Amino acid sequence: MGEANRLSTKRHQLKKKVEELKALQGRHSSFTTLYIPPTKSLTDVISFVRTELAGTDNIKSKTNRKNVADNLTAILSELTKMKQIPENGVAFFFGIQEEGGSNKTIREIVVPPTPISQFLYICGREFVTDELEEMTKPKSLVVIVLIEGGKLVVGYLRGKH
């Protein structure tokens, strides 16, 4: 039962983090989302990020180019500190949010309670949190089948029970 409670607590913490991330808004492509599944090689991911960083020269907007390059440089720095991808993978949410003439740097690294299913890299105005949101939903399902008088009734119960 302790493991179930621990997972429930992690899901609750993740839900709060997802809500925080969803509330943030950036300009153009100032937010970078990177999901790395546990099956992905750290070397391959570092190589991918370096390639994307080299490609930032092709971004026309000077501000946008700088924001994306700063995010990728920071992600690359974090990746090079890792010895391996965590057991459930890792998600990076890095960005620059403009607030009243000043910039707020966002650097969130999330190791989820369950494995990340796919590699995803997106730069945009907001963070992509879909996969993490799915992880916050209860996975348990109870099916109740009632057979009486030749009739069949099926009921589903999700969540804590």
Could you tell me the domains of the chain?
A: 2-158 (3.30.960.10)
Which residue do the tokens 């907001």 mark? 126
Question: For residue 1, is pLDDT > 50?
Answer: no
pLDDT digits (tens, 9 = 90+) for 110-134: 999 889 999 999 999 999 999 998 8
Structure-model confidence comparison of residues 149 and 122, the more confident one: 122
Residue 15 tokens, joined:
């839900």
pTM: 0.80
Token pair 């989820």 is found at 112
Q: Higher-confidence residue: 18 or 161?
A: 18
Identify the CA nearest to 122 among candidates 27, 32, 46, 18.
32
Choose among 126, 42, 133, 45: nearest CA to 86: 42
| Cα–chain center distance at 93 | 7
pLDDT classification of 4: cutoffs 50, 70, 90: low
| Sequence letter at residue 54 | A
